[in-house]
Structure 1
Amino acid sequence: MNFLNLQDFIRRPPMIHNLSQKLTTTFIHHRIIDAEDREVYIYSFELLLSAVINLAVVVLLIGLTGQVAGGMGFVLTFLVLRQSAGGYHASSHFFCILSFTVIFSVFLAVITFLPPLYYLPVILGALVLGVPVIVLTAPVAHVNKPLTGAERVRLSRLAKLTVVVLTALIMTGWYLAPGSAAPAGAALGLLTVALSSLAALYQKRKRA
């Protein structure tokens, strides 16, 4: 495999790309979609399949560690907040899957070996670091999908509201169930979004 082929393998993993092509061809054959939209649907199926793989990774890792509450708290907070706050986007489906797998694995390792006694310091630390970053930076748009002024204002307000609601839910969750890993997982999910936003801003400055 030469360097150019390796780059294409990383950018568009053969399994995902080939399956996306087959699905698109099937849809075209049955006249569900138009042939001229082929490339658009191939890319859309690649996104969908990447999301499915990420979900499978989540289920597998949660199953292996048994961290259902913490894992669900992390994933739900991450997904909800990313919708308005934005953040870093990997350059390929391969790196998207890889980066999420690494991040989620590190999180599960932390939450598995962290005694419940330390949940509150972790929660407070994650919120103190993460909330201001999201409030000040959201939304961080993808370089290929710029936002209009109205969209930026709307998403900024939504991100701030989401952060306030999540913070209240996290602290309430810890107060009601201090031994549960769910509030700690949610707080670390919030912090991950904040770090993702900082990474995206750093990436933009490097390109400028």
Structure 2
Amino acid sequence: MISELSKKISGYLIENGADHEEEEVLTYGAECFLNLLISDGLLLVIGLLTHHVVPLLVWAASFSLLRANLGGLHALSHFWCILIGTMIGASSIIVSPVLAAHPVTGVLCTIVGAIIAIVIAPVPHKNKRYIQAHRKKTKMKVAATAAIECVLTCVFYFADPIYAAYIACGLIMAVVLGIAGTIWNPR
């Protein structure tokens, strides 16, 4: 369904002036956009139903900013990507209060996660050759993002521990997917 809709979107863009040679890139971009729209929409619904909209948005920002440059495990289909991504986001509602109750553990896990992210970045994948070609630049982006998230986690533990925990949880979950991708992604 997502693949077909993405092809229609790229076809529409080409009919309206986009370069025909970019059809594959446009289709992929449309697939990514639709995938993100559906999974973030589901996460927003979960946030509304559980009264955790703002904390889930904090988690999503922390997770997405790191994952965008770090990379990680990729699902075999859009369905599984949406399902797994939504479940990971929803699980932060359970994990974050535990991290909020144990600030030292939360900070230590965040720091260890940041170090691991920097070491493994960018996670290799056979379809992500561009990222591997710009390895140093990507590693610097991961280092900057992880450092900012570590600082925010520490600062927020004094201001509002639950938000600190959601930031920490986003970083930790992105790193777990990064480790899994390092192990299982096709090269």
TM interval, shorter chain, is 0.7 to 0.9
Distance (whole Å) between structure 2 residues aligned to residue 82 and residue 139 of structure 1 = 10
Question: Would the aligned equivalents of 1:127 and 1:187 in 2 still touch at CA under 8 Å?
Answer: yes
Counterpart residue type for residue 137 of structure 1: I
Which residue matches 2:154?
171
Question: Would the aligned equivalents of 1:72 and 1:185 in 2 still touch at CA under 8 Å?
Answer: no
Distance (whole Å) between structure 1 residues aligned to residue 100 and residue 138 of structure 2 = 36
Against the structure 1 CA distance between its residues 142 and 149, is the aligned structure 2 distance closer, same or farther, given a 3 Å change threshold? closer
Equivalent residue for 1:90, pick from 57, 72, 75: 75
Against the structure 1 CA distance between its residues 117 and 99, is the aligned structure 2 distance closer, same or farther, given a 3 Å change threshold? closer
The alignment status of 1:47 with 2:29, answered yes or no, reads: no
> For 1:75, what is the secondary structure of its paired residue?
helix
Distance (whole Å) between structure 1 residues aligned to residue 103 and residue 49 of structure 2 = 25
Scaled by the length of structure 1, the TM-score of the pair is: 0.77
Distance (whole Å) between structure 1 residues aligned to residue 81 and residue 178 of structure 2 = 15
Q: How many residues align?
A: 187
In the alignment, structure 2 segments of 5+ residues that lack a partner are none
The alignment status of 1:188 with 2:149, answered yes or no, reads: no
User: Residues 133-191 of structure 1, C-alpha deviation per residue, up to 9 Å, x if partnerless?
Assistant: 1121112133212257761111112211221121111111111223xx21100101110
In the alignment, structure 1 segments of 5+ residues that lack a partner are 1-13
Against the structure 1 CA distance between its residues 151 and 202, is the aligned structure 2 distance closer, same or farther, given a 3 Å change threshold? same
The alignment status of 1:138 with 2:121, answered yes or no, reads: yes
Scaled by the length of structure 2, the TM-score of the pair is: 0.84
Which residue matches 1:6?
none
> In terms of Rg, which structure is larger?
1
Distance (whole Å) between structure 2 residues aligned to residue 116 and residue 136 of structure 1 = 24
Against the structure 1 CA distance between its residues 76 and 148, is the aligned structure 2 distance closer, same or farther, given a 3 Å change threshold? closer
The alignment status of 1:19 with 2:5, answered yes or no, reads: yes
Against the structure 1 CA distance between its residues 104 and 39, is the aligned structure 2 distance closer, same or farther, given a 3 Å change threshold? same
1:69-148 equivalence runs, <5 A: 69-111=54-96, 114=97, 118-147=101-130
Question: Would the aligned equivalents of 2:131 and 2:138 in 1 still touch at CA under 8 Å?
Answer: no
Identity of aligned residues (%): 26
